[in-house]
Structure formats: structure tokens, C-alpha cells
Structure 1
Amino acid sequence: MIVPFSPGGASDIIGRIIVLSGLNEELGQQIVVDNRAGANGNIGAQIAASADPDGYTFLFGSAGVMSINPSLYVSSNLKPTRDFIAVTQVADIPGTLVVHPSVPVTSVAQLINYAKAHPGKLNFGSSGTGSLNQLQMELFMRAADIKMVHVPFKGGGPAAIALLANQVQVYLSTLSTSLPYVKGGRLRILSVIAPQRRPEFPDVPTLAESGFPSMTTGTWQGLFFPRGTPRTIVDRLYGATVKVLERAEVKRGVASAGGEVVISKSPEAFTAFVGSETERWAKLVKDVGLVAK
């Protein structure tokens, strides 16, 4: 299984949980996790796409790699909706809308009003130009009719540190990143990006509850085979993965990594989901005028 990011990140952790907690056993094969980082995930994805479609190589893909990168890296030959067979979604990592405590707001509505009353005063951080959390914030700002200044960083860690230092005031962070800082009183959470409220913050509304019904998914992750893989192999991996994801220990493990298990109804359903996500982000990338350098 190719993970297109370095060891220790959310994709790597959740991918290893699924493999080590039963996928080896269900498939009767020893699965090796192969981290191939670089080019915002494109290097690993290209290696997976070029692999023989014999069922022995599959990709642990994510929203950024599979749905955003195609619009950012316009010169790349990689087209995930063409080059891969979607098997199933496995997890979603909820996002959180957090602010530095110096910002005098305690709700999404108050943030919107404050941003309108103080144009250009608020900076928002991201893990990089064209990153999922930048695009999510661009989507939020357009829907809310507000403007904040984008400050990109080289990864989510540096962006979180900048927020703690009040170098930026707003950040759409993964739940796993923001959780300790919110619990410790160093950041204030306004909303979560998830289909429903999170048990970690049962009193915090979702963005959908706050008036943004299209913003319900965080950083989704799933399994993909190279194009040309036989349907019988696709079905076998789908069935084995569903069995593993239904295990209580796997759900606990994914939750401990800041995510939640999500199982697609079928490979076709996941294919449709990836296609709709790709179209959604392509439109936003074009509207914002982003091109990866």
C-alpha cells in the first residue's frame, strides 16, 4: 500500500491502523506500507498509477491528492479520476474553525460580523498554497461574504504555531491538531467541519448548523487501485476493508488519530463521490486563480 506522504502524518497513521488491525488477515497477504512522499502527494500517486494492475499495489489516497491536485498541477499527466479505480472511503478527519483568544468572538456569526467590521485585519493560516484548508477557508469566505488575508505555511504544524503566537488569527485545522490547544485554553474553537457534532466538543456546532450546509467533510481518505485492475480484485479489497473498518478496535484507533471511520456503500458510490469532490474543488481553484508552482 502506497502512502504518498511521510511517516507519522494522519494518512500514514490511519493507513497503518487499517492494515495492522486486520487487512493483512482478511486478505491473507502481508501488506507493506510504502511511504512515497513529495510534490504534495503526487509522487506517490504517480507511482501507484503506474503499477501493474494485478492487485498487489494500491494507494491510500486523500482529498488533496485525488481531488485538489489535479486542478493545481495543471501540467501533471496524473488524472486520478482517469488513472485509478476508487474502492472505498475509509475515514474522514474532521476540521475545526479555531481562532486566537485575542479575537473577540465566540461563534461563527460573530466571526463573520467582526471580519466585516474590520476588513483586512484578520489573517488566516494554511498548511500551504492550494492546501485543503486554504480552499476550505476560501469557500467559507465566499459563502460568508468576508475577506481575510491568507498566510501560507509549510505544513499544518508551522501554521498552528503561528496561530498560537497570534501571527495569524484564524485557522481551519484538523481536529487532531487543534484538540490539545483548545482543551488547554490556548485556542478558541468556533465550529467543526463534520456531518455531526463531535464527542470531543459536544457543545460546538458544525459549520452546517452555523449556516454552511455544503461544508460537512473534512479530510477524507480512501483506497484506490491502478486503472485496469480486475473487478474481482476490487470487490475483494472492498469486502475485506469493510470487515476491518467495522471492527471496534479499528474505529477506536482511527478516532485516536483524530478521524472517524467512513465506509462507502460501494466502489461506484465512492467513484461518484470523488468525481463530485474533484468538480467542486476545480471550480474553486479556478475562481481563486491558484496554480501550483
Structure 2
Amino acid sequence: MKELRAWLMLVLALLPALAFGQASYPNRPIRMVVPFAPGGASDFVARILSPKLSELLGQQIVVDNRPGASGNIGMELAAKAPADGYTIYLGNIGTIAINPAIFPNLTLNPTKDFIPISLVADVPSILVANPSVPANSVAEFVALAKSKPGELNFGSPGSSTLNRLEMEHFMKLANLKIVHIPYKGGAGPAVIGLLGGETQVMFVTLSSAISFIQAGKLKALGISTAKRIDALPQVPTMAEAGYPEMVSSSWQGVFVPAGTPRPIVEKLHAALLATLDTPEIKQRFAGGGVNVVTSKTPEDFISFVGAETTRWGKVAKESGATID
């Protein structure tokens, strides 16, 4: 009885300190883990988001790029961090919804090891080619690939990325045989490979390719949106090209390690929504081909993640995609 009384007194003594700790959050810098190298959509979103989010939270958000293993290295690092709100994770459709279906030995379960906070961005995909490729439309590229089965190759930011699955799905629909060349570190290295002629074609997030398209360094063949976009009005949609099944996009969202206290989750959610509602952020995102999207509540994002994991797990299985 004495031991129980002593334990209860200790708990009661600690409660004010715990409450104060959460109420004063954050009182030091916060690390935002980005599981890809600079140059891709995730890094683009993080670099634009972090200054305004820092301003609203009153503490610096430090972007920490941790690329490797199709995003698994950064994801595992974030999942194992203390659940105190000082490590947040910028996950995307690939790391959260696709990796579990591609990597049989993944040591974590994203839907259990993270608490989703909110969606923050939605990035369309675009089919681009090196200027040396003798094709200026989806139809011309399909004809070229069919005339050279197994001779062309396509790059991707990694084996388990949405861009890889998009190409696998496209090849299945068009009955094409194109060799996959995966790159490590995200879209940046893959785009560099395409620019240098190491690969001929790839699906890539619009934010990673739009400046090269506008400069004439890459050819845009088709975009994955439901309708043409204002930034590239001359580029037809994949649906216009005869592939309505190819409407897709890469979402980005903020997560924290499982076990993070609810008050911290709610504070981060409110700060993210306020950040994303500013005209400056909307304008800068739009300039890079990124759409602002948010989750009304963390629970809405949880439901979204569950549905996306089911959807893309099925696509990965049907495509036969494996780790290269």
C-alpha cells in the first residue's frame, strides 16, 4: 500500500511538468526528415514549407535530407525518433503507401509507426523524354518503343516510387517492353540521368521537371492530370493521348512518430493548415507545379493513408514490380 501511495504521489507530482512541457511546445528547433536527396518534389515542398512553419511555431524547422533505399532510410530514422514532436517526417505516396508492398523485409509499418498530421501537397506526374528521343507525343513514343522492344530504358527515383509504378502500368496498357533504370536518392539524380542521356524517358513529378521543360532541356509528352494545366497548356493529358487510366499524382504529408502526445499533434496540424493557407505558399507551390492540399483533421488523413495503402498495394502487386 505504501509503495502504491508513493507511486501515485510521484505520478501526480509529474503531471504538471508534463502538461507544462506540452503547453510550451516547441521550445527548441524541430527536425523535418526528408527521405530523398535535394532536387526532388519532397525537398521542394520542405524548403518552401519550413520557413513559414518556423515563423508560426516560433522555432526553426531544420530540413534533414536522409536519402537511400527508396526513402526507407529516412522513414526508419524518423519512426524511431523520440515521440516528442521534435522530429517530423515528410512522407509521400511512395514511402508510406507503396514501399510496404515492394519491400518484403521492411522493418516498420508506416500506418502503425507514424501518426499522420495532414496532407500538405499534391504533385502531378508528367511523362518526359530526353530531347534526342525521336518522339514528340505519347503516340509517337509508343510507336518508337514498339519498334525497339527492350532497347529503350526509363529512369525512376527508385524501385518502389509512384513514378516507377506509373511507367509499369503504362507499359502494361500500351504493351511495351522498356528497361527500368532505378536511381538512388529521389527524383533529382533520376532527372540528371535523363538530362544526360543515360535514360530516354521517365514519369516524374512536375515540380522536378517543369524548369527543364520550359528551358527546352526535356520534352513533355503527356501529363497525368485530369485536364491540362495552366503552367504547360501545350502538354496534353495522358487521357487525351488514349490512356485515361493514367490519371495519378504524388501526395506529400507530414507525420510524427507513434506515441506523440495529442496536444502536440493538434498544434502541428493547426500550424500546418495556417502555413498552407498563406498566399505566399500557394503562389510558390503553384510556380513549381505543386498543388496545396490539406486534411481537415488528423483523422481524415489517417483514413486517406489507409485507402491509398490499399490502392497502391494492389497496383504494385498487379504490375509485378519488384526491387531491382
| TM-score, scaled relative to structure 2 | 0.77
Q: Is the 8 A contact 2:115 2:256 kept in 1?
A: yes
Q: 1:45 to 1:129 in 2, by over 3 A?
A: closer
Aligned AA (2:249): G
Q: Is the 8 A contact 1:71 1:282 kept in 2?
A: yes
Structure 1 position 170 matched with structure 2 position 201: yes
Q: 1:40 to 1:149 in 2, by over 3 A?
A: closer
Runs of at least 5 residues in structure 2 that lack an aligned partner in the other structure = 1-31
Aligned AA (2:159): T
Q: 1:90 to 1:185 in 2, by over 3 A?
A: same
Instruction: Look up the match of 1:124.
Output: 154
Q: How does 1:108-257 map to 2 (within 5 A)?
A: 108-154=138-184, 156-164=187-195, 166-257=197-288
Q: 1:207 to 1:236 in 2, by over 3 A?
A: farther
Distance in 2 between the 1:12 and 1:260 partners? 15
What whole-Å deviation, never above 9, does each CA across 1:222-261 have from its counterpart, x for those lacking one? 1012223344432332222111101111122223444222
Larger radius of gyration: 2
Partner secondary structure for residue 87 of structure 2: coil
Runs of at least 5 residues in structure 1 that lack an aligned partner in the other structure = none
Structure 1 position 260 matched with structure 2 position 276: no
What whole-Å deviation, never above 9, does each CA across 1:128-187 have from its counterpart, x for those lacking one? 333332211001222333332223344544543444455533221232343343334343
How far off is 1:118 after superposition?
4.5
Instruction: Look up the match of 2:121.
Output: 91
Q: How does 1:32-51 map to 2 (within 5 A)?
A: 32-51=62-81
Identity of counterpart residues, as a percentage?
49
Aligned AA (1:183): Q
Aligned AA (1:78): L
Aligned AA (1:151): I
Q: Is the 8 A contact 2:70 2:159 kept in 1?
A: no
Distance in 1 between the 2:130 and 2:54 partners? 43
What whole-Å deviation, never above 9, does each CA across 1:28-59 have from its counterpart, x for those lacking one? 44433333333332232223222333333321
Q: 1:179 to 1:232 in 2, by over 3 A?
A: same
Partner secondary structure for residue 284 of structure 1: helix
How many residues were matched structurally?
Answer: 292
Q: Is the 8 A contact 1:133 1:172 kept in 2?
A: yes
Q: Is the 8 A contact 2:70 2:158 kept in 1?
A: no
How far off is 1:110 after superposition?
3.8
Q: 1:285 to 1:107 in 2, by over 3 A?
A: same
What whole-Å deviation, never above 9, does each CA across 1:83-126 have from its counterpart, x for those lacking one? 11212111123221122445444332343344345433432222
Instruction: Look up the match of 2:17.
Output: none
Aligned AA (1:2): V
Partner secondary structure for residue 241 of structure 1: helix
Looking at both structures, which has the greater relative contact order when contacts are Cα pairs under 8 Å and sequence separation is at least 6? 1
Q: Is the 8 A contact 1:14 1:257 kept in 2?
A: no
Distance in 2 between the 1:255 and 1:234 partners? 27
| TM-score, scaled relative to structure 1 | 0.84
Distance in 2 between the 1:213 and 1:266 partners? 31
Partner secondary structure for residue 272 of structure 2: helix
Q: 1:42 to 1:102 in 2, by over 3 A?
A: closer
CA root-mean-square deviation: 2.8
Instruction: Look up the match of 2:108.
Output: 78
User: Which has the higher mean CA deviation after the structures are superposed, 167-176 or 86-95?
Assistant: 167-176
Distance in 2 between the 1:53 and 1:146 partners? 46
Partner secondary structure for residue 255 of structure 2: strand
